[in-house]
């Protein structure tokens, strides 16, 4: 009470009156409005600190793909990269089987029939009477005659098809007129062994090369026999590495079939025995072809020119010593038996290709026993389309069926027959032209490469070249 009185006494009279008036007005306002009037908004305060981010929401549905844009301009072609390392050599038969099954993936160019020039001879006429075998490295080795220089030549190919164009060419013998009617085999040491005729001295000669290409210019040629006709020789190597050679002797009114068996791998002793196998008034022994049977003894096909017969001799021992050897006329129907070539079939029996001269056909005889003495051999006409069948050569394929190269005399082409059975007896064999160039396919010689591909050495008579061809590779 005292405090209130004191405050009142201190308040000025006008102030007291004014305060009373404000209260009176305020009281009147509250009575008329019912609630206090909002004042003006104050200034905006400062933004507070940013809060923590909330959890990520669920991913929405993918929208529809937009339209594809225009293709851009092609860039500049880059530089060619380095050539990669050569891959391992594949099996061409396997490759060609793939090319046949998937022609849009694999090119069939390597599988087509091809023929390559191995020796042009420059201005010389080369390539006559070739003989081909496969070397230990899988590449062909070929002996042949240079008709211009009358020399014995050898070509060693640097690839299995002689396709590289840089084969090794060597002159092996230049003494006299030498090198005709050659026959080549691979010796036990892997080097070529070659029999041939010295037409000047009428001698049978043999050279055993000192290297796989006969390239050392240091080969030694040895005379094996005399009184030799300018006719075919045929060579085989026995189990001891010594040569056996069938050939025809030279006489004024006859010719005999003989066989020389050398005592050493080079026929160097000068004392190699030679035996007469078929003799008489008839001219026999030309177009001779020699192979060793499963018993290791010689089997020889040849032409009896007097009677026009195909004949076969089977020896009872390695040297064809007199007594016990069989001589059989296998085909005597008409004038047959020229251009013979013999191979041993998978069953051990001889298979022989030859010309039916009278009908100008290619024929094959398959013997039913190792000596062809049964009188019931299978004789088949393989190709009778035009003038065909000369210059034959035969080899047995991996499937056991014969493959025969020969000359189409009418068209002057190299042809190859692939038989569908071991006797070529169906008259439905696959016949094909390997080299369609004119005047090729002379003096054919065939061998089977390591991949089962047949390679054929032959003479291009138009250009005087040595060529090597192969039939189409169909794959296996």
Could you tell me if residue 204 is inside a domain? Answer: yes
Choose between 216 and 346: higher pLDDT.
346
Burial letters 346-379, b for 16+ CB under 10 A, else e = eeebbbbbbbbbebbbbbbbbbeebbbbeeebbb
Distance CA 57, CA 59 (A): 7
Is pLDDT above 70 for 86?
A: no
- Average pLDDT of the chain is 88
Which of 370, 364, 371, 434 minimizes the C-alpha distance to 394? 364
Distance CA 206, CA 183 (A): 10
Could you tell me if residue 67 is inside a domain? Answer: no
Distance CA 328, CA 301 (A): 10
Could you tell me if residue 64 is inside a domain? Answer: no
Distance CA 25, CA 23 (A): 5
Could you tell me if residue 214 is inside a domain? Answer: yes
Could you tell me if residue 27 is inside a domain? Answer: no
Contact 393, 341 (CB under 8 A): yes
| Partners of 260 in beta bridges | 245, 274
How far, in whole angstroms, is CA 259 from its chain's centroid? 35
pLDDT band at 476 (very low <50, low <70, confident <90, very high): low
Could you tell me if residue 413 is inside a domain? Answer: yes
Distance CA 367, CA 235 (A): 21
Question: Mean pLDDT, to the nearest integer, of 270-286?
Answer: 89
Domain, as residue range, for 202: 92-470
Question: Mean pLDDT, to the nearest integer, of 287-295?
Answer: 97
Range with the poorest average pLDDT among 25-34, 73-82, 270-279: 25-34
Could you tell me if residue 133 is inside a domain? Answer: yes
Choose between 74 and 414: higher pLDDT.
414
Distance CA 114, CA 349 (A): 32
Which of 218, 220, 116 minimizes the C-alpha distance to 158? 116
CATH number at residue 326: 2.120.10.10
pLDDT band at 95 (very low <50, low <70, confident <90, very high): confident
Long-range contacts from 269-277, C-beta under 8 angstroms, 24+ separation:
270/222, 270/223, 272/224, 272/225, 273/319, 274/224, 274/225, 275/319, 275/320, 275/321, 275/322, 276/249, 276/322, 277/246, 277/313, 277/315, 277/320, 277/325, 277/327
How many Cβ atoms are within 10 Å of 24's Cβ, its own excluded?
Answer: 9
Range with the poorest average pLDDT among 7-11, 101-105, 145-149, 402-406: 7-11
Is pLDDT above 80 for 413?
A: yes
**Into how many domains does the chain fold?**
1
Distance CA 199, CA 176 (A): 8
* 3-state DSSP percent of the chain in helix, strand and coil, to 5: 10, 40, 50
Could you tell me if residue 53 is inside a domain? Answer: no
Q: What is the pTM of this model?
A: 0.80
Contact 312, 371 (CB under 8 A): yes
């Amino acid at each position: 009470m005292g405090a209130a009185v004191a405050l009142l006494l201190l308040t000025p009279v006008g102030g007291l009156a004014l305060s009373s008036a404000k209260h009176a007005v305020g009281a009147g306002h509250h009575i008329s409005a019912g609630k206090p009037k909002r004042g003006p908004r104050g200034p905006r305060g400062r933004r507070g600190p940013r809060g923590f981010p909330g959890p990520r929401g669920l991913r929405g549905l993918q929208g529809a793909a937009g339209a594809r844009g225009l293709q851009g301009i092609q860039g500049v072609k880059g530089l060619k990269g380095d050539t990669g390392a050569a891959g391992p050599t594949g099996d061409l038969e396997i490759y060609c089987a793939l090319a046949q099954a998937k022609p849009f993936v694999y090119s069939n160019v390597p599988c087509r029939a091809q023929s390559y020039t191995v020796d042009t001879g420059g201005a010389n006429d080369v390539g006559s009477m070739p003989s081909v075998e496969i070397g230990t490295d899988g590449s062909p080795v070929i002996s042949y005659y240079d008709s211009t220089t009358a020399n014995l030549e050898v070509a060693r190919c640097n690839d299995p098809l002689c396709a590289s164009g840089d084969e090794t060419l060597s002159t092996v013998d230049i003494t006299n007129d030498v090198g005709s009617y050659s026959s080549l085999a691979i010796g036990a040491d892997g080097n070529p062994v070659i029999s041939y005729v010295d037409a000047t001295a009428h001698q049978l000669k043999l050279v055993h090369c000192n290297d796989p290409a006969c390239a050392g210019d240091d080969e030694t040629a040895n005379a094996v026999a005399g009184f030799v006709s300018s006719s075919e020789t045929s060579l085989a190597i026995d189990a001891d590495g010594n040569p056996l050679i069938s050939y025809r002797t030279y006489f004024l009114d006859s010719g005999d079939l003989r066989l020389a068996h050398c005592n050493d791998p080079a026929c160097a002793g000068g004392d190699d025995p030679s035996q007469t196998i078929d003799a008489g008034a008839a001219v026999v022994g030309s177009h001779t072809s020699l192979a060793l049977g499963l018993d290791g003894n010689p089997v020889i096909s040849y032409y009896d020119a007097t009677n026009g017969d195909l004949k076969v001799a089977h020896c009872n021992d390695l040297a064809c010593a007199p007594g016990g050897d069989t001589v059989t006329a296998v085909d005597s129907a008409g004038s047959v038996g020229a251009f013979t070539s013999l191979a041993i079939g998978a069953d051990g029996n001889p298979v022989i290709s030859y010309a039916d001269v009278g009908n100008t056909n290619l024929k094959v005889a398959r013997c039913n026993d190792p000596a062809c003495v049964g009188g019931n051999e299978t004789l088949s006409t393989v190709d009778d389309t035009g003038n065909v069948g000369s210059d034959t050569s035969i080899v047995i394929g991996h499937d056991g069926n014969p493959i025969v190269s020969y000359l189409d005399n009418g068209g002057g082409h190299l042809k190859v027959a692939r038989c569908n059975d071991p006797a070529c007896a169906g008259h439905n064999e696959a016949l094909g032209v390997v080299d369609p160039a004119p005047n090729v396919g002379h003096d054919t010689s065939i061998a089977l490469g390591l991949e089962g591909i047949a390679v054929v050495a032959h003479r291009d008579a138009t250009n005087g070249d040595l060529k090597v061809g192969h039939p189409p590779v169909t794959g296996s």
